[in-house]
Amino acid sequence: MKCPCCEAELRIDSETRAVITYKAPERPRTLENLEAGVERLKGEAGRREEAFQKSFAAEKMSSQVLSKKFDELLKKAKEEPLGPPPKRDIDLD
Question: pLDDT tens for residues 34-90?
Answer: 787 787 788 888 889 999 999 998 888 888 888 889 999 999 888 887 778 778 888
Q: What pLDDT, on the 0 to 100 scale, is given for residue 63?
A: 81
Taking CA atoms, 33 is separated from 11, 27, 30, 37, 42, in Å, by 35, 16, 9, 7, 15
For 69, the enclosing helix (H) or strand (E) is: helix 34-79
Considering only CA atoms, which of 47, 48, 71, 51 is closest in space to residue 59? 51
pLDDT band at 17; cut points 50, 70, 90 = confident
Answer whether residue 31 shows pLDDT above 80: no
> 3 or 50: which carries more pLDDT confidence?
50
